[in-house]
Amino acid sequence: MRANVKNDIIRKIVELTLRGASSADNQQPWSFHWDGVKLTVREVIQGLKLTDPGRFLNTLNLGTIAETIDIVTSMPSVHLKPEFSYSLSPANLGMQATFTKSPRSLDELAQVVEKRWCDRRKYKSESIDESVIQACHRDLYDGVNLYFSANTKELHAVDGMIWGKVFAIDRLCKKDMYEWLRWSKRDAEKTRDGMYWTTFSDSWINSRMVKLSMNPSRLVYFCTRPFTRPALRAIGILQRMFSASNGLISEGTEGVYGCVTVKKTSSEALVDAGRSIIRVWMRLNLQGYSFQPMMVLPLVFSYMRPEAGNGSGVVKGMVSAYEIDKGFDACRETFGFSKDETPVWIFRAGLPKGPKHYATLRKDVAKVLSVSPGITEK
C-alpha cells in the first residue's frame, strides 16, 4: 500500500542521499521534486559536457542515488520501501521513486551513509580481508562483477599516460574537468558543489601551478620572464618541503585496485553497476578501508573502444587506438575478467594512513528539493 510520507521525511531522505551517494567531481547534478506521491530526480547539470556526452558518469551516479535512497529508507525512523522507475536517455536522465510502508530490516550500510568518504592519499595496507571481499561480492546486482588486484603497476602507468595525454594537456578537456575545482575555501563555501583543492591532499604550490596552467596567456607570460628558471627551482624545493610535510612523498602504497564490470553496457546495466558500486564503497568504509574512484580509464574506455561506437569528439584523436587497446589489455590482465565484460568503475582501496581530515560540502537541501504547492505535512 502506498505510504503517506511527510515532507520532513522526504527532506531527510534527500539530505542523506546527497551526502551518501557522492557524484563525479561533487557536481551534485540532480534536482529533487516531491509531489506528495512521487519523488522525482532529474539531471539538471550535464556534468562533463565535452568528455562525457552520453552521460556515462551521471548514469552510474543515478544508480548510486537509487541505492542510497534504498539504504536510507530502511532506517527505523523512515521505514519505507522505495520502488524506482528510470528514464535513461541522455536527453532526459532521471528517475521517480514511490514509497510503500513496509516493515523491512535495517540495511547495515545505513550506519555509514554519512561517513562514506574518498581518500586520495597513499594508503597503509596492500590487502583487503578475504571476508570483506566476500561481503562486497554479495552486494552486487545481477550481471555486475567485481575483481580485486594488488598488481597495480601497469594499470597505474596506463592511467597516468591517458590522464596526462587527454585531460591534463587538452585545453577543452581540462576546462571541462577543472570547472569543478574550487581554489579557495570561500569559493567552495559559496557554491557548495565542486571540490576544494585540499581534498586532493595536494600542496598549495601544486594547486597554484594547476590554476596557472588553466590560463595559457598567464602561463606563457610566466614562462618567458627572466626570473622563471630560478623561480621554478625555488618552487620545486618548496614543493618538496610542502609535500614532505603533507606526507605525500613519504612511504605508502596505492593499495588494492578494484574493478567493476558489466556484461553489456546498456544504461540499465550502468544503473545496476552504480547501485552495486555504492554498496561496495560503503561496505569498504564500514570495515575501515579507504576508497578512491579512478574513473579516467573507464570513461575513456566507454567512449573510445570501437565496441562502444560513440566516440567523443574531444577525446578522439588524443590517444591512438593502439594505446587504448594496450590500456584495455592491461586492465584485463590486471583483473582477469573475460573478453565480453566491460570495466565501468575502477577504484583503489586500503587501510588509511590517518584519520579523515575534511568533509566535502553539499548543496543545501532547500536549494535542490522542491515540493508541490499544497502538499502540507500529513
Ligand X SMILES: Cc1cc2nc3c(=O)[nH]c(=O)nc-3n(C[C@H](O)[C@H](O)[C@H](O)COP(=O)(O)O)c2cc1C
Q: Of 253, 322, 317, 319, give the one whose Cα is nearest residue 289.
A: 253
Stretch that binds ligand X, among 66-74, 116-124, 144-152, 250-258 (CB under 6 A): 116-124
Question: Which cell goes with 202?
Answer: 595536494
Can residue 117 be called a binding residue for ligand X (CB under 6 A)?
A: yes
Can residue 24 be called a binding residue for ligand X (CB under 6 A)?
A: yes
Q: Which residue in 51, 96, 292, 342 binds ligand X (CB under 6 A)?
A: 292
- Shortest distance in whole angstroms from residue 63 CB to ligand X: 9
In this complex, which beta carbon is closest to ligand X, that of residue 60 or of residue 304? Answer: 60
- Shortest distance in whole angstroms from residue 44 CB to ligand X: 16
195-196 vs 181-182, strand pairing mode = parallel
In this complex, which beta carbon is closest to ligand X, that of residue 26 or of residue 73? Answer: 26
In this complex, which beta carbon is closest to ligand X, that of residue 195 or of residue 330? Answer: 195
User: Which parts of 323-362 interact with ligand X (CB under 6 A)?
Assistant: 360
**Exposure b/e, 120-138, CB count within 10 A at least 16 = b:** ebbbebeebeeebbebbee
In this complex, which beta carbon is closest to ligand X, that of residue 182 or of residue 341? Answer: 182
- Shortest distance in whole angstroms from residue 181 CB to ligand X: 11
Helix (H) or strand (E) holding 26: none
Burial of 190 by CB count in 10 Å (0-12 exposed, 13-18 middle, 19+ buried)? exposed
Alpha helices in 102-163 (DSSP H): 130-138, 153-162
In this complex, which beta carbon is closest to ligand X, that of residue 47 or of residue 99? Answer: 47
Can residue 60 be called a binding residue for ligand X (CB under 6 A)?
A: yes
The CA-CA-CA angle for residues 219, 49, 184, to 5°, reads: 50
C-beta atoms surrounding 227 within 10 Å: 9
Stretch that binds ligand X, among 20-28, 209-217, 218-226, 313-321 (CB under 6 A): 20-28
In this complex, which beta carbon is closest to ligand X, that of residue 61 or of residue 73? Answer: 61
Can residue 294 be called a binding residue for ligand X (CB under 6 A)?
A: yes
Amino acid at 30: W
In this complex, which beta carbon is closest to ligand X, that of residue 273 or of residue 324? Answer: 273
Can residue 67 be called a binding residue for ligand X (CB under 6 A)?
A: no
Stretch that binds ligand X, among 115-123, 256-264, 311-319, 370-378 (CB under 6 A): 115-123
State the Cα–Cα distance between residues 69 and 73, nearest whole angstrom: 6
Stretch that binds ligand X, among 22-30, 139-147, 210-218, 222-230 (CB under 6 A): 22-30
30-34 vs 38-43, strand pairing mode = antiparallel
Q: Of 90, 43, 66, 52, give the one whose Cα is nearest residue 295.
A: 52
State the Cα–Cα distance between residues 248 and 250, nearest whole angstrom: 6
φ, ψ dihedrals at 260, nearest 5°: -105, 130
Write each residue from 195 to 214 as x if it is in contact with ligand X (CB under 6 A), else as -, in one continuous string: x-------------------
Can residue 80 be called a binding residue for ligand X (CB under 6 A)?
A: no
Contact 57, 22 (CB under 8 A): no
- Would you tell me which residues interact with ligand X (CB under 6 A)? 22-26, 57, 60-61, 64, 117-118, 120, 195, 292-296, 360
